[in-house]
Amino acid sequence: MRQRVFFLILTAWLLCGAFVPAAADCAAAGPVDAALPETAMKPSFPMPPLSGPEADIILRKATEAPYSGQYTNKREAGTYVCRQCGTPLYSSRDKFESGCGWPSFDDELPGAVRRQPDADGRRVEIVCANCGGHLGHVFAGEGFTAKNTRHCVNSLSMSFYPAGSPEEAQALARSAPQGCTATAIVAGGCFWGVEDAFRKMPGVCAAVSGYTGGRTPDPTYEAVCGGNTGHAEAVRVSFDPSVVSYEQILRRFFEIHDPTQLDRQGPDVGDQYRSAVFFLDAEQEAVARSLMSRLRELGYDVVTRLEPAGPFYMAEEYHQRFAERTGRGRCHMPVPRFDIPAGGGGGALRK
């Protein structure tokens, strides 16, 4: 292992040259005190002014010395955002230890990172897709993870927001498409089908599979399936309230799964498959209670839990858009329960 680490560091030095106090990158076209590029884009989200070293890296494409960054060995769950504009770039789920001396990720958040030829003619530079700020470089074929990709990123190019923090929630909300200012979080059995059903709903901008409602930080799929984390397979829905209301979102939720099944959906058994609405405020809670009361009036023995929203942990990448990619997992067929009394064909939903 030590030999591998030494080889990686030596390779980086040979590619980039010796690091100087200002940490000039091999891709830099001039000295670090050169004028800022005319193409530097204005930040979209309010962020603190860049420090001198941050500007050297983000605007002038310098590189921090290996093992000097605050995020190199960070393992906390959360989201890494662009230091210049605040756009979410990477999830802690995709971070891994490469031993190269810089934070390493094997994937980026969808559409967050742009690749372009490096000035050295050999490497591939990665920049923030929103503001164009320099992040580092991306390498393939090294075999560190199953994705066989390594984003080598400067710590000074990023800020970190812990999972479930207000800062993370605000950053993720701001990066959603314009108009998508509202969020709903629900659980109704296997998240593949729930996510797929919401993706097709007009007014929905994004649907993300994940885990929430439990006590284990940054859980894995295997841990959640073990039934000891308290988390449910859930879906976070971002939507445009001018097109679709929260009530319409929840009505669809109650119609694509069976809210009368306790801690299960069809053959999937366990509290990780529970029916639940994770409300973000009192208004959402009131809407959920009203719809549940309506279903009970129609004769449905609703067992859906109402839980205050807590940290939402994005599921592994292979779960995202699973039904769309594989054609499997579409097990949530809509049943018009609000129009059909219990016993009239709107009861238990079979998977």
3-state per-residue secondary structure call for the chain? CHHHHHHHHHHHHHHHCCCCCCCCCCCCCCCCCCCCCCCCCCCCCCCCCCCHHHHHHHCCCCCCCCCCCCCCCCCCCEEEEECCCCCEEEEHHHEECCCCCCCEECCCCCCCEEEEECCCCCCEEEEECCCCCEEEEEEECCCCCCCCEEEEECHHHEEEEECCCHHHHHHHHHCCCCCCCEEEEEEECCHHHHHHHHHCCCCEEEEEEEEECCCCCCCCHHHHHCCCCCCEEEEEEEECCCCCCHHHHHHHHHHHCCCCCCCEECCEECHHHCEEEEECCHHHHHHHHHHHHHHHHCCCCCCCEEEECCCCEECCHHHCCHHHHHCCCCCCCCCCHHHCCCCCCCCCCCC
Which listed residue (85, 180, 190, 331) is catalytic?
190
pLDDT value at residue 128 = 94
Mean per-residue pLDDT over the chain, rounded: 84
Residue 130 is predicted with a pLDDT of 87
**Cβ density class 18-43: b for 16+ within 10 Å, e for less:** ebeebbbbbbbeeebeeeeeeebeeb
Q: 154 versus 110: which is more confidently predicted?
A: 154
CA distances from 82 to 44, 106, 128 (A): 11, 17, 7
**In the chain, what percentage of residues exceed pLDDT 70?**
84
pLDDT, residue 21, reads: 31
Quote the CA–CA distance of 303 and 345 in Å, as a whole number: 18
| Per-residue pLDDT at 90 | 95
Higher-confidence residue of 224 and 348: namely 224
Q: What is the pLDDT, as a whole number, of residue 345?
A: 52
Q: Is the pLDDT of residue 34 over 70?
A: no
Which of 37, 161, 187 lies closest to 109 in space, CA to CA? 161
pLDDT of residue 46: 73
CA dist., res. 248 & res. 176, Å (int): 20
pLDDT of amino acid 325: 77
The verdict on pTM exceeding 0.75 is no
Q: Where are the domains of the chain?
A: 2-162, 176-339
Average pLDDT over every residue of 324-349: 74
- Band of pLDDT at residue 75, cut at 50, 70 and 90: very high
> Residue 72: is its pLDDT beyond 80?
yes
Class assignment of domain 176-339?
alpha beta
Is-catalytic flag, 16?
A: no
pLDDT-derived band at 171 (thresholds 50, 70, 90) equals: confident
For residue 347, is pLDDT > 50?
Answer: no
| Single-letter amino acid, residue 172 | L
Report the distance separating Cα 19 and Cα 9, nearest Å.
Answer: 12
Give the pLDDT score at 44.
Answer: 54
| CATH superfamily membership of 2-162 | Peptide methionine sulfoxide reductase. (2.170.150.20)
**79-93, 117-131, 237-251, 318-332, range with the lowest pLDDT:** 318-332
User: Residue type for 214, please?
Assistant: G
Are 2-162 and 176-339 equal in CATH topology? no
Residue 174 pLDDT exceeds 80? no
Query: 52-56, 118-122, 164-168, 269-273: lowest mean pLDDT where?
Result: 164-168
